Amino acid sequence: MIAFFTKILGRSWLGRVYKVDKPLFLVLALFFAATIGFNVLKLQTTPFFVWHMYSAKMPETATYPYFQITYNHGRVVNLQHTWNEPQKSYLYMPLSRYVYDKAGADTDPFRLYLETWLKKHPRFAGLTRDLTITQHELDSYPAWLRSYLSTVTGGPIDEVTVLQKKVSFDASGAPVEVSSDTVLHLPPYE
């Protein structure tokens, strides 16, 4: 049985690392073993990877929010569904964060988490300094949004309006708009 695993390990990438650099192999083997062990024990080992981040059940809600972005006096940004989702992520994730911060959210949950984590691990303070948003970055977001929208749409952007809409679903499953609020308006250039 041991000969079987030795033969498999010998032909693998990890086996080649063992033949070339035994200390590196030891570091990698310890890392893999620790990762599996921490996962089995459900221990969180870093501030950047939370083992249970996708294990919570999504709560049912009466309304579902989404953003509608219009540009150049009423043209709606309509990103078609593709398997290339980064374009949507680059557009909507910073937008939701900007709206959250501009709405006067007094406490940033991630910042609070980092502060708590840094009390236990003060040596990593230098590495976590750039993980939160500064006021300057928040103020420069509208210009970035206009610039990014021009790459998404393939043309110049004169004016941008972002609506935060909320919908619910009726008994037949059809969406019903509950509210629509303007959360950002970038007027045309003068």
pLDDT at 16 over 60: yes
pLDDT band per the 50, 70, 90 thresholds, residue 51: low
The percentage of residues in the chain with a pLDDT greater than 90, rounded to a whole number, is: 37
pLDDT band per the 50, 70, 90 thresholds, residue 1: low
Q: Give the pLDDT of residue 78.
A: 87
Measured at the CA of 32, the angle between CA 28 and CA 56, to 5 degrees, comes to 145
pLDDT at 55 over 70: no
pLDDT at 12 over 60: yes
Mean pLDDT of 36-50: 69
pTM: 0.65
Burial of residue 145 (number of CB atoms within 10 Å: 0-12, 13-18, 19+)? buried
Condensed to tens digits (0 to 9), the pLDDT of residues 75-110 reads: 999 887 777 688 888 999 999 989 988 887 667 778
- Cβ neighbours of 69 (radius 10 Å): 21
pLDDT at 147 over 70: yes
Q: Is the model more confident about 127 or about 75?
A: 75
- Cα 38 to its chain centre, rounded Å, is 23
Distance CA(48)–CA(70), nearest Å, equals 34
pLDDT band per the 50, 70, 90 thresholds, residue 54: low
SS3 letters across the chain: CHHHHHHHHHHCHHHHHHHHCHHHHHHHHHHHHHHHHHHHHCCCCCCCCCCCCCCCCCCCCCCEEEEEEEECCCEECCCCCCCCCHHHHHHHHHHHHHHHHHCCCCCCHHHHHHHHHHHHCHHHHHHHHHHCCCHHHHHCHHHHHHHHHHHHHCCCCCCEEEEEEEEEECCCCCEEEEEEEEEEEECCCC
The tokens describing 83, both together, are 């398997």
129, 149 Cβ separation under 8 angstroms: no
pLDDT at 19 over 80: yes
